Structure 1
């Protein structure tokens, strides 16, 4: 665009300068020619006045003096054929002037100014002043050169101004293109700066509005997915418990496996959808854990499970996205309901950890499990074994760790260490 605008400005400026400077140059040439002819006419008229007033003997000396001071070749044609001053041919214009008419005519190499005068003693005398082409064009070339330099300077100035304006426009458009590429790459925080001409600023505002709208739609999608997770996990857990209560072990295992496959599919869809847009990498662990405990308390009450809660009253920030911490807590509490009999109590404790982190501890009084269950896909029953893997990956993504051990007196203890958010 910068090159295109520069070419347009060059063409426009050139046309304007040609339309202005060419007539001006022609006018300068005409003025210079008229000035030279006027000076020659003044010289010829001064000699004509001398012819009328001086006697023939003094006329030759006067002609020589005027020719020396005037700077132009001077010739006086007498009626008897004699010539005073510089020798010159008796042209048709001279013969016409001898009839009593003063004329200006073109001659080889220049212009001759002829003044006819009637001398009382000599008769019809013709005074001729010759103006060469060099005298007619004196100063014209210099003027044309000055106009050419002026035209080039104005053209260069116009190109510089056009390039500056074009750079301002193209810089803003390039920035808009960069923001659009960042949005296409998934960076929904990218925003355009309203710079440049009003039209470009309008496009930037529209792009920012579009980016904000996309962010809102994806946030709504994530909320819908989270709601779907909340709605499906409790029925799936209840279905798994009902399957385990069936008298036929084979049928119970088959239904439990189908429930696990469905939960795995739902979890995969939820995680995939959450990864479509970047979520904030920090949240308040107190708020998230409290909300998830409140959600699972309904099922705990239905199964007559006692909950031992130790949750702080102040915010505890962690370097985990809200959705990831929600999935982690749901996975740990879901394991309690899935792998312990009804009525078995459990506990949830959230405290400040070392170096500004947070420690989440989930305990139960069930049969416990082996540490090899930390491997993805391993389970003590017929489940998919994804719960502890989700908790482990959540902890490690924040710079923490997962620890599973047996509780004193029976049961299991799952300790999730979560790192603090990065300082700005």
Structure 2
């Protein structure tokens, strides 16, 4: 498109320049010729009184002086054939002048002009002025060069302005194309420049509105699925506790296995809803943790759990997707509710790291880790369920350039520490 705009503008300007420059060049040539002929005519008219009244001896120095000063050849031809001033042939035009006819005509090398003077003291005479081609075209070449240079400058200026306009249009179009491709790949944070030229700005605004609406709909969908999953997970936790309290081990295993199956489906729905929408690899840990803590606080009140919060003010940018961080926080808090009795107190602490990123600590006053247990397997039931578990938190830590550590303090309970690095 850029080349087509340049070609169109170049052709248009060139046609306009030709339409004006060619007539102007011809006018310059005509003006130069008229100027030379007018000067020659004036010179001849100045000599007419001398030729009409003076004798030959008086006439000769005057004619020679005029010929010397004038770039044209100035001659006076008397009736007897005497030539004063510049040498001149007795041409047919001179013969017409001796007969009383003033005329001019093109001659080899220039233009010949004769002015008839009748009734002179020395008889009829003719003033002949021969204007060479150099005088007829004096200054024309220079004027044409100036005109050509001005035309080239105007054409170059027009092409430069057209190039800038075409570049802005092409850049805006390329930006729209790039934003469309990013949206197609799922990057809903992509936005076009609404200040793009002309109608492209309107298209960019409409595209941004569409992207915002899609993001809003997906966010509502994720929240609805997450809310539904949370409502289902709460009775599942109660069922698990009831199953573990059964006296018959076979019944406990059977019911726990069913609960694990439903919990796997719920977990899959949560992760699928949160990963949909192409989130970027950056999140504000303070905002995400605060939102998820408020989400779980209702269940904590229902189960008589005291919650201690120490959340740093944001923003605390970390190098993981918001959905991944939400799933991680839900996994850590879900483990507290799933593996500690009702009424067990727990705390959530979020602080910033000196090198950037964030540090999240979830601690509880529960029974802690059983002897010889694999810390990363906490939350993995005997039924073989992967649950929400600490595997989600470990993967989030690895993807975010951090680490996950667990330890049981001497006073009992469990401390889970998650460190996340700053965005790259």
TM range (shorter): 0.7 to 0.9
Q: 1:396 to 1:51 in 2, by over 3 A?
A: closer
Distance 1:148 1:63 in 2: 41
- Identify the residue that residue 312 of structure 1 maps to in structure 2: 308
- Identify the residue that residue 117 of structure 1 maps to in structure 2: 117
- Identify the residue that residue 53 of structure 1 maps to in structure 2: 53
- Identify the residue that residue 154 of structure 1 maps to in structure 2: 154
Give TM-score scaled by structure 1 length: 0.77
Matched, 1:327 2:324: no
Paired residue total: 404
Structure 1 unaligned regions, length at least 5: 301-306, 337-343
After superposing the two structures, state which structure 1 stretch, 345-354 or 112-121, moved more: 345-354
Matched, 1:78 2:75: no
Contact 2:309 2:349 in 1 (8 A): no
Distance 1:187 1:235 in 2: 36
- Identify the residue that residue 386 of structure 1 maps to in structure 2: 387
Contact 1:75 1:84 in 2 (8 A): yes
Contact 1:349 1:360 in 2 (8 A): yes
Contact 2:404 2:418 in 1 (8 A): yes
Distance 1:98 1:291 in 2: 122
Contact 1:36 1:135 in 2 (8 A): yes
CA apart distance, 1:255: 5.7
Contact 1:372 1:378 in 2 (8 A): no
The one-character-per-residue Cα deviations of 1:152-185 (angstroms, maximum 9, x if unpaired) are 2222333333334444444555555555555555
Contact 1:395 1:402 in 2 (8 A): no
- Identify the residue that residue 33 of structure 1 maps to in structure 2: 33
Contact 2:40 2:129 in 1 (8 A): yes
Matched, 1:347 2:327: no
SS in structure 1 at match of 2:124:
strand
CA apart distance, 1:287: 6.3
Q: How does 1:5-404 map to 2 (within 5 A)?
A: 5-177=5-177, 179-180=179-180, 182-184=182-184, 186-237=186-237, 253=253, 256-276=256-276, 277-278=278-279, 280-283=283-286, 285=289, 288-289=292-293, 291-292=295-296, 294-295=298-299, 307=304, 309-312=305-308, 315=311, 321-336=325-340, 345=342, 347-350=344-347, 352=349, 357=359, 359-364=361-366, 369=370, 371-375=372-376, 379=380, 381-390=382-391, 392-393=393-394, 396=397, 399=402, 401-403=404-406
CA apart distance, 1:104: 1.2
Give TM-score scaled by structure 2 length: 0.77
Q: 1:73 to 1:239 in 2, by over 3 A?
A: same
Q: 1:55 to 1:87 in 2, by over 3 A?
A: same
Q: 1:297 to 1:390 in 2, by over 3 A?
A: farther
Distance 1:395 1:250 in 2: 35
Distance 1:159 1:291 in 2: 62
CA apart distance, 1:128: 1.4
- Identify the residue that residue 356 of structure 2 maps to in structure 1: none
Q: 1:281 to 1:327 in 2, by over 3 A?
A: farther
Distance 2:367 2:63 in 1: 141
SS in structure 2 at match of 1:388:
coil
After superposing the two structures, state which structure 1 stretch, 217-226 or 9-18, moved more: 9-18
Distance 2:116 2:290 in 1: 120
Contact 1:67 1:74 in 2 (8 A): yes
Q: 1:332 to 1:273 in 2, by over 3 A?
A: same
CA apart distance, 1:415: 2.6
SS in structure 2 at match of 1:347:
coil
SS in structure 1 at match of 2:39:
helix
SS in structure 2 at match of 1:312:
strand
